[in-house]
């Protein structure tokens, strides 16, 4: 019995220690990256930050990574990581300012902030769902109360109409927000592949999945694309003979579309993570 | 052929001579007086017309080797010769010989009134100059030499040759002998030579007691910048005029005013032209070989320097770029270096400013100020200016480049849509200055395993939480249905309806309706209270017995009976004599019904 208790204690301690060690690894990588950056070795600092990002995420990590890419004038990567950082900390005005500056340096206008994108964005999805639930249940309770405990049919009728309209509006808001959320999950930021030295400074969206065919259109690094969904509800992709996967994407306004190689963009929210 | 037009003179005198001389024969004579002269002397050609004093008309022939004055002197005379009146007209022309030998004026016609006469030919002999003439000639040359030394212009050329477009500095010196009575200098020296251009002459510098040719002079100096304009061999002189005072005496032995002292007599002013010696300067063309593309005509010994007034600006803010050229050269003819706009900068035409010798513009510093407007944000480099010049001393071309100035261009303020809460955006942009961009965070912050939080719809807690209101709704439905089954709801509905009728009756002062509703309400509430099966069928006596069975007070029973009696009498006997108001009745009834046990 004592042996069993001892083994159990040892197992618990080992588990706690392991989890603490694992938790400290991203911290160690982060601090190493900061020191390396201070020493002037930007490439090594980027590698360390990227390694840390495979373990965990933080707004400061992606912000620092974006800053480094910006200093190396890789604006596509910089915008990608600023977007990630802002997802983690949407209220950080410094990140917003840096992102806008990166857009300007990439010779692109910042994304238009419309009413819909502000109040029905993916960030507001939870809010709208909760509002929708509150309106539905509160209204339903009041409706039954009026039905059973109040004699006025007129009140019952008017309240029913108001309740139905409120439910429809809140559901519509939640649907809009859900749609934004869906697009966010499929949103990618275009950047140059790390290994390729592209002199044209644009990235082509091809007519077909493959290198040899001509480009439908060209886009700048840092531009945002939405990966299209297939009939089965998953991202429309095609794997060619060399193992590279191509995705069918279109711009946010839908004016540009075409196939893009997997190493020519970065997911804002990685579907594999 | 010089046409001599003799003016008409009015012969108003001696009319009687004219009348008497009408009978005299007309005759013309001509002669030189003296008929033989040396080359340095003058003679007079005389034409004498006898028998008339009328002005003749005719043309004097031109003779090579003689200069005949075209302003003759006329002399009319009248006399009696042997009692016969005689008139004549003498016309005298000054004649100056040009060369030695015999010169003859041929016979020429002259018209007097209606008569035409032939002037006979005349011959003059011009001899070689004699000793006296030579002495006089030497004296004149000496006078000229002395006059030249008395006032002269000196211009020294810096080099024997110049290059086309080259500017050299120099000065024009006007020497005036101290004893020369100069009243003023009429004008600044003027250049005579189209192959050169000259800078504007300002006020001269005056230097006194300058010694030269054993004389004391006052020297007036004008600094100049002389630019060679046309290639080739060219000459240049300078001239000016000065005003001098001379004595009026005309019989000076030398006919020169400068050996007389004008201060001791009444004199007059005369203009005297002063000319410099002719200078021959060769102007060479600039070499074509190895001429740089950026050469724009700058010649001299020069150095350049470039500066900017700011190394960090916001997008759209102008930057002043200064390009200075310093040294000796043709600054007045030096064009601005070419500095063209590109994709990063919009460059305006330069402003010129020169610091140095403003008169000659040969030595100093020429500044070109360009206004550059950055078109893109980021770390930009100001384009390099290539400036080429030709060094006339080394006879070679040189090219100088401006420094490569880095310029940090911040994105600056962007246009903000006013419909999107401009104040909020402005505050946010103000709170984060561009200087604070891209600072490294030293702490990792809060770690999360996923960038995007789980959607609430996928959360089991959310769906579990929906059970709470669901249970509430179910409970409410259950309770409501149960309540409907017990009849309490019907009783309450009837009670509410009767209360409403009573209030409406009070409002419309309808006592009949009020008491009818009152009676029904009393039956309903007492019957329901004592669980009577059909309360609306209760009579007044049955209500009283129910109240008595409930051990209610006698006063309460009697008051309810009284109200029921009033109600019956009001409805069936239409007895409306009732003192209490309906409001008071309602309050009383409410109070009685609450007391029922």
- B145, B273: one domain: yes
- State the pLDDT at residue A158: 93
Do the two domains A11-110 and A191-267 of this chain adopt the same fold? no
Closest C-alpha to B256, from B378, B390, B148, B384: B148
**Residues 124-143 of chain A whose Cβ lies under 8 A from any Cβ of chain B:** 125-126, 129-130, 133, 137-138, 140-141
| Residue of chain B with shortest Cα separation from A27 | B444
Checking if the pLDDT of B16 tops 70, the result is: no
Cα–Cα dist B106/B90, whole Å:
18
Q: Which residue among B436, B452, B473 sits closest to A144, beta carbon to beta carbon? A: B473
B396 cis-preceded (ω within 30 degrees of 0): no
Structural domain boundaries of chain A?
A: 11-110, 116-184, 191-267
- Whether residue B370 contacts residue B348, with contact meaning beta carbons closer than 8 Å, is answered with yes
Domain count, chain B: 4
Q: A2-26 pLDDT, tens per residue?
A: 667 776 667 666 655 555 545 578 8
- B272, B347: one domain: no
Which one has a higher pLDDT value, B348 or B103? B103
Q: Could you say which of B234, B255, B283 is where a domain stops?
A: B283
- DSSP reduced 3-state for A68: helix
Checking if the pLDDT of B14 tops 50, the result is: no
- Whether residue B345 contacts residue B382, with contact meaning beta carbons closer than 8 Å, is answered with yes
Give the strand order in the sheet containing B312-314.
B312-314, B406-410, B378-381
Does some domain include residue B517?
yes
Which token pair is B526?
Answer: 């007492």
Length in residues, chain A: 273
- What average pLDDT does this structure show over B90-105? 90
- Please give the mean pLDDT across all residues of chain B: 81
Q: Which of A183-197, B80-94, B415-429, B572-586 has the highest mean pLDDT?
A: B80-94
- Whether residue B170 contacts residue B226, with contact meaning beta carbons closer than 8 Å, is answered with yes
- State the pLDDT at residue B492: 80
Closest C-alpha to A93, from B424, B526, B183, B227: B424
The answer, for A175 touching chain B at a CB cutoff of 8 Å, is no
What's chain B's Rg over C-alpha atoms?
67
Closest C-alpha to B308, from B385, B392, B386: B385
Using CB atoms within 10 Å of the CB of residue B548, give its burial: 0 to 12 exposed, 13 to 18 middle, 19+ buried.
exposed
| Residue of chain B with shortest Cα separation from A78 | B438
Most distant CA atoms of chain A, gap in Å: 79
Does some domain include residue B561?
yes
- C-alpha angle with apex B443: B437 to B445, nearest 5 degrees? 100
Checking if the pLDDT of B420 tops 50, the result is: yes
Residues with Cβ < 8 Å from B546, sequence gap 6 or more? Answer: B526, B527, B530, B532, B538
- State the pLDDT at residue A166: 95
Give the CA-trace dihedral at A159, A164, A167, A173, to 10 degrees: -120
- Whether residue B246 contacts residue B259, with contact meaning beta carbons closer than 8 Å, is answered with no
Roughly what angle, to the nearest 10 degrees, separates helices B488-508 and B582-594?
160
Most distant CA atoms of chain B, gap in Å: 206
Q: What is the 3-state secondary structure (H, E, C) of B446-508?
A: CCECCCCCCCHHHCHHHHHHCHHHHHHHHHHHHHHHHHHHCCHHHHHHHHHHHHHHHHHHHHH
Q: Which residue among A59, A125, A148 sits closest to B445, beta carbon to beta carbon? A: A59
Which token pair is B17?
Answer: 């001579």
- State the pLDDT at residue A140: 93
- Give chain A positions within 8 Å (CB) of B446: 58-59
Q: B112-156 pLDDT, tens per residue?
A: 888 888 999 999 999 888 888 888 888 888 888 888 888 899 887
- B75, B154: one domain: no
- State the pLDDT at residue B30: 92
Does some domain include residue B477?
no
- State the pLDDT at residue B248: 59
- State the pLDDT at residue B417: 54
- B392, B313: one domain: yes
- State the pLDDT at residue A175: 92
A43 cis-preceded (ω within 30 degrees of 0): no
Give residue for tokens 């302003």.
B71
Model confidence at B7, pLDDT cuts 50, 70, 90, reads very low
Using CB atoms within 10 Å of the CB of residue A65, give its burial: 0 to 12 exposed, 13 to 18 middle, 19+ buried.
buried
Checking if the pLDDT of B93 tops 80, the result is: yes
The answer, for A187 touching chain B at a CB cutoff of 8 Å, is no
Which one has a higher pLDDT value, B206 or B159? B206
Closest C-alpha to B5, from B76, B70, B98: B70
Closest C-alpha to B178, from B156, B206, B155: B206
Torsions phi, psi for A11 (to 5 deg): -65, -45
Does some domain include residue B1?
no
- Whether residue B503 contacts residue B518, with contact meaning beta carbons closer than 8 Å, is answered with no
Mutate to test the interface with B, among A24, A40, A64, A130 (most CBs of B within 10 A): A64
Which token pair is A224?
Answer: 């945002």
- Measure the N-to-C terminal CA separation of chain A; round to a whole number of Å: 42
- What average pLDDT does this structure show over B540-550? 86
Cα–Cα dist B152/B239, whole Å:
9
- B43, B105: one domain: yes
Give the strand order in the sheet containing B108-112.
B57-58, B108-112, B115-119
Checking if the pLDDT of B203 tops 90, the result is: no
Facing residues of B80 across strands?
A: B85
Q: A151-184 pLDDT, tens per residue?
A: 678 888 999 999 999 999 999 999 999 888 888 8
Does some domain include residue B72?
yes
Q: How, if at all, do strands B36-38 and B122-127 pair? A: parallel
- Give chain A positions within 8 Å (CB) of B469: 133, 137-138, 140-141
- Give the residue numbers spanning the domain of B29: 15-129
Does some domain include residue B299?
yes
Q: Do B469 and A144 touch (CB under 8 A)?
A: no
Q: B487-536 pLDDT, tens per residue?
A: 777 788 788 888 998 999 888 888 888 888 998 899 888 888 888 878 88
The C-alpha of A273 sits at a distance from chain B's nearest C-alpha, in angstroms, of 7
Q: What is the CATH number of the domain that holds B339?
A: 2.60.40
Does some domain include residue B449?
no
| Chain-centre distance for alpha carbon B420 | 41
Q: Which residues in B371-389 are b (16+ Cβ under 10 Å) and which e?
A: ebbbeebbebebbebbbbb
- Whether residue A209 contacts residue A201, with contact meaning beta carbons closer than 8 Å, is answered with no
Q: Does the interface ipTM go beyond 0.90?
A: no
Cα–Cα dist A245/A227, whole Å:
13
Question: What is the count of residue pairs from A and B with beta carbons less than 8 Å apart?
Answer: 129
Does some domain include residue B425?
no
- Give chain A positions within 8 Å (CB) of B485: none
The C-alpha of A34 sits at a distance from chain B's nearest C-alpha, in angstroms, of 7
- Give chain B positions within 8 Å (CB) of A94: 432, 436-437, 439
Closest C-alpha to B216, from B155, B152, B150: B150
Which one has a higher pLDDT value, B541 or A11? B541
Closest C-alpha to B323, from B265, B384, B266, B274: B384
- DSSP reduced 3-state for A133: helix
Q: Do B432 and A97 touch (CB under 8 A)?
A: yes
- C-alpha angle with apex B195: B193 to B198, nearest 5 degrees? 75
Q: Do B480 and A147 touch (CB under 8 A)?
A: yes
Residues above pLDDT 70, as percent of chain B: 87
Q: Could you say which of B77, B99, B129 is where a domain stops?
A: B129
Closest C-alpha to B328, from B302, B295, B296: B302
Model confidence at B436, pLDDT cuts 50, 70, 90, reads low
Q: Could you say which of B394, B410, B426 is where a domain stops?
A: B410
A191-267, what's its fold?
SH3 type barrels. (2.30.30)
| Residue of chain A with shortest Cα separation from B474 | A141
Using CB atoms within 10 Å of the CB of residue B231, give its burial: 0 to 12 exposed, 13 to 18 middle, 19+ buried.
middle
Facing residues of A71 across strands?
A: none
- B87, B185: one domain: no
- B260, B305: one domain: no
The answer, for A19 touching chain B at a CB cutoff of 8 Å, is no
Helices (H), chain A: 2-39, 42-55, 59-71, 75-88, 93-105, 115-119, 125-149, 153-186
**Which regions in chain A score pLDDT beneath 50?**
21
Checking if the pLDDT of B262 tops 50, the result is: no
| Residue of chain A with shortest Cα separation from B457 | A129
Q: Which residue among A34, A37, A56 sits closest to B448, beta carbon to beta carbon? A: A56
- State the pLDDT at residue B44: 93
Mutate to test the interface with B, among A23, A97, A99, A147 (most CBs of B within 10 A): A97
Q: Do A151 and B438 touch (CB under 8 A)?
A: no
- B106, B193: one domain: no
Q: Do A60 and B445 touch (CB under 8 A)?
A: yes
Model confidence at B46, pLDDT cuts 50, 70, 90, reads very high
The answer, for A34 touching chain B at a CB cutoff of 8 Å, is yes
- Whether residue A248 contacts residue A227, with contact meaning beta carbons closer than 8 Å, is answered with yes
- State the pLDDT at residue B539: 85
HSE at residue B97, side-chain half, CA atoms within 13 A, is 24
Which overall architecture, per CATH, does domain A11-110 show?
Alpha Horseshoe (1.25)
- Give chain A positions within 8 Å (CB) of B428: 93, 96-97
């Amino acid at each position: 019995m004592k042996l069993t208790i001892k083994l159990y204690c040892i197992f618990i301690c080992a588990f706690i220690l392991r989890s603490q060690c694992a938790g400290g690894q991203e911290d160690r990588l982060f601090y190493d990256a900061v020191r390396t950056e201070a020493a002037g070795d930007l490439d090594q600092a980027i590698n360390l930050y990227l390694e840390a990002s495979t373990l965990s995420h933080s707004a400061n990590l992606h912000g620092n990574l974006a800053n480094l890419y910006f200093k190396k004038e890789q604006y596509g990567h910089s915008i990608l990581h600023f977007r990630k950082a802002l997802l983690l900390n949407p209220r950080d005005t410094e990140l917003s300012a840096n992102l806008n500056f990166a857009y300007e340096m990439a010779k692109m206008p910042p994304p238009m902030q419309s009413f819909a994108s502000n109040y029905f964005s993916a960030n507001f999805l939870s809010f709208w769902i909760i509002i929708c639930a509150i309106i539905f249940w509160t209204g339903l309770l009041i409706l039954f109360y009026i039905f059973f405990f109040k004699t006025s049919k007129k009140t019952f009728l008017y309240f029913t109409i108001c309740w139905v309209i409120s439910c429809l509006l809140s559901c519509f808001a939640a649907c809009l927000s859900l749609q934004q959320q869906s697009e966010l999950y499929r949103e990618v930021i275009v950047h140059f592949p790390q290994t390729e030295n592209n002199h044209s400074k644009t990235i082509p969206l091809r007519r077909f999945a493959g290198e040899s065919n001509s480009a439908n259109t060209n886009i700048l690094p840092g531009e945002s694309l939405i990966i299209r969904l297939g009939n089965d509800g998953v991202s429309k992709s095609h794997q060619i003979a060399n193992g590279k996967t191509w995705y069918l994407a279109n711009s946010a306004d839908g004016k540009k579309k075409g196939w893009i190689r997997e190493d020519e963009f970065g997911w804002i929210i990685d579907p594999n993570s | 052929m010089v046409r001599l037009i003799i003016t008409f003179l009015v012969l108003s005198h001696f009319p009687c001579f004219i009348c008497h001389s009408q009978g005299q024969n007309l005759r013309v004579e001509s002669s030189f007086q003296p008929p033989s002269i040396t080359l340095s002397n003058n003679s007079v050609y005389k034409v004498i017309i006898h028998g008339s004093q009328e002005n003749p008309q005719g043309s004097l022939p031109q003779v090579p080797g003689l200069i005949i004055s075209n302003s003759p002197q006329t002399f009319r005379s009248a006399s009696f010769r042997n009692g016969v009146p005689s008139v004549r007209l003498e016309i005298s022309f000054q004649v100056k010989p040009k060369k030695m030998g015999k010169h003859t004026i041929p016979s020429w016609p002259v018209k007097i009134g209606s008569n035409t006469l032939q002037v006979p030919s005349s011959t003059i002999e011009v001899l070689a100059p004699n000793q006296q003439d030579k002495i006089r000639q030497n004296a004149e040359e000496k006078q000229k030499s002395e006059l030249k030394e008395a006032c002269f212009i000196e211009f020294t050329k810096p080099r024997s040759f110049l290059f086309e477009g080259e500017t050299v500095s120099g000065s024009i010196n006007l020497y005036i002998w101290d004893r020369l009575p100069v009243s003023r200098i009429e004008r600044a020296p003027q250049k005579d030579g189209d192959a050169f251009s000259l800078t504007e002459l300002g006020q001269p510098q005056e230097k006194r007691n300058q010694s030269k040719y054993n004389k004391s002079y006052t020297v007036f100096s004008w600094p100049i910048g002389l630019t060679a304009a046309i290639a080739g061999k060219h000459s240049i002189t300078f001239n000016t005029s000065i005003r001098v005072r001379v004595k009026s005496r005309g019989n000076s032995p030398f006919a020169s005013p400068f050996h007389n002292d004008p201060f001791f007599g009444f004199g007059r002013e005369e203009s005297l032209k002063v000319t410099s010696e002719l200078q021959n300067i060769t102007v060479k063309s600039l070499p074509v070989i190895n001429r740089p593309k950026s050469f724009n005509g700058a010649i001299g010994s020069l150095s350049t320097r470039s500066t900017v007034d700011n190394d960090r600006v916001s997008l759209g803010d102008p930057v002043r770029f200064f390009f200075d050229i310093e040294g000796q050269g043709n600054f007045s003819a030096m064009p601005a270096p070419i500095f063209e706009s590109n994709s990063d900068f919009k460059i305006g035409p330069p402003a010129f400013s020169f610091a140095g010798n403003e008169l000659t513009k040969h030595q100093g510093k020429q500044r070109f100020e360009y206004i550059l407007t950055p078109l893109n944000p980021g770390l930009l480099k100001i384009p390099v200016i290539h400036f080429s010049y030709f060094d006339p001393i080394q006879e070679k071309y040189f090219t100088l480049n401006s420094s490569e100035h880095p310029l940090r261009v911040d994105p600056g303020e962007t246009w903000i849509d006013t419909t999107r809460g401009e104040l909020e955006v402005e505050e946010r942009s103000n709170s984060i200055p561009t200087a604070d961009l891209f600072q490294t965070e030293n702490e990792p912050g809060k770690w999360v395993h996923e960038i995007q939080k789980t959607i609430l719809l996928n959360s089991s807690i959310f769906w579990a939480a929906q059970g709470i209101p669901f249970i509430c709704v179910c409970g409410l439905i259950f309770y409501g249905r149960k309540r409907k089954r017990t009849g309490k709801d019907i009783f309450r509905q009837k009670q509410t309806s009767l209360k409403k009728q009573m209030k409406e009756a009070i409002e419309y002062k309808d006592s009949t309706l009020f008491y009818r509703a009152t009676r029904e309400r009393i039956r309903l509430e007492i019957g329901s209270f004592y669980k009577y099966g059909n309360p609306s069928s209760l009579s007044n006596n049955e209500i009283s017995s129910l109240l008595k069975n409930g051990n209610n007070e006698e006063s309460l029973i009697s008051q309810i009976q009284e109200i029921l009696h009033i109600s019956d009498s009001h409805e069936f006997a239409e007895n409306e004599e009732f003192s209490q108001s309906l409001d008071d009745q309602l309050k009383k009834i409410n109070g009685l019904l609450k007391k029922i046990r």
